[in-house]
Amino acid sequence: MNTGPSASPANPVRRRLLGGAALAFAAGPLGAIGSALAAPASVRTAPASAGKPMWGPLRQIDAGVLRVSYAQMGPEDGPPVLLLHGWPYDIHTYAEVAPLLAAKGYRVIVPYLRGYGSTTFLSADTPRNGQQAALATDAIALLDALHIDKAIFAGCDWGARTADIMAALWPQRCQGLVSVSGYLIGSQQANQAPLPPKAELQWWYQFYFATERGRLGYEQNRSEFSRLIWQLASPQWRFDDATFLRSAAAFDNPDHVAVVIHNYRWRLGLAEGEKRFDEMEARLARQPNIGVAAITLEGDANGAPHPPSSAYASKFTGKYAHRLISGGIGHNLPQEAPAAFAQAVVDVAAF
């Protein structure tokens, strides 16, 4: 899952974000845990979407340091849309979004991130790096390999952060942006600033991953661990076993644990990144504005830490809209509210 956006402690945007995180926590993370695990009587039921994916066989292409495995739907000459998943999710976040967009004539591309599914590293010597700049560079390399000059970027969780970074640093490649939970670009320096204790509790898994016990625990229990995160992050989403297991298969990638653990340790400054990304990370630490057309989305029942939209609206300096999606929608918004997410993609293309 994503951490909130970061800036220097003196930055007023950062202060609003931290305050929002604390206020969001006032409802009580333990209460959220209880509601997630107790299965209240009135809950939304996940669609029966765990059969054979509608997009057919996956494709592979060498891009940057990866052999990327990706799904594609829609006409080859349609306007391209790049859909990016997060942790602990996979391409099936967009199992219902992709066909909706393909039916409207879009060329929809949904890649497995590094460390997920059948995406692999081309070299055993490449660091299994999960830092934000590496993931964004992977996505740009994929567009280059597919000879796509410009696309709509849309994402959730890690994918939202990656889409934000691409839109900020490569605006000439971005036709429009759809980002769940808004502006999620971070920095190691900003993440050194402590949050109030109740807000810190929401990041229990981040601290767990900082330990060797946590790494081993995730490696040995990655499916059970991920199911718990799904429940906590989307407390009103009652997905069935088949839906979860379809995505959990992506976590069997041999590089998955290394990439996930590095991602969270890097955020806290407990793991080094690659030197080749230093200049990019310095730019991101300055919290660049996003000037492309953008729509941000939030679910009304997101159980994961997330900032209020008022804290990041000013970071979007182009045509911009924010939408709150109601109906008990949690963190995995594209899979829980596929029609709303697909409509945002269509609408941002028309901005």
Q: Give the pLDDT confidence of 64-86 residue by residue, as tens digits.
A: 999 999 999 999 999 999 999 99
From CA 318, how far away is CA 316, in angstroms rounded?
6
Check residue 42 and give its pLDDT: 39
**5 pLDDT exceeds 80?**
no
From CA 262, how far away is CA 275, in angstroms rounded?
15
Q: Mean pLDDT over all residues of the chain?
A: 88
Check residue 2 and give its pLDDT: 62
From CA 9, how far away is CA 305, in angstroms rounded?
18
Report the pLDDT averaged over residues 242-259. Answer: 98
Report the pLDDT averaged over residues 272-282. Answer: 98
Q: Retrieve residue 109's tokens.
A: 């591309």
The alpha carbon dihedral of 298, 302, 307, 311 has a sign of positive
Closest CA to 92 of 200, 236, 249, 264: 249
220 three-state secondary structure: helix
**Tokens 């059969």 map to which residue?**
51
321 or 50, higher pLDDT: 321
Q: Retrieve residue 181's tokens.
A: 């939970």
pLDDT band at 52 (very low <50, low <70, confident <90, very high): low
Check residue 231 and give its pLDDT: 98
Closest CA to 314 of 2, 1, 3, 5: 5
Percent pLDDT > 70 in the chain is 85
Q: Retrieve residue 328's tokens.
A: 């008990």
Report the pLDDT averaged over residues 208-229. Answer: 98
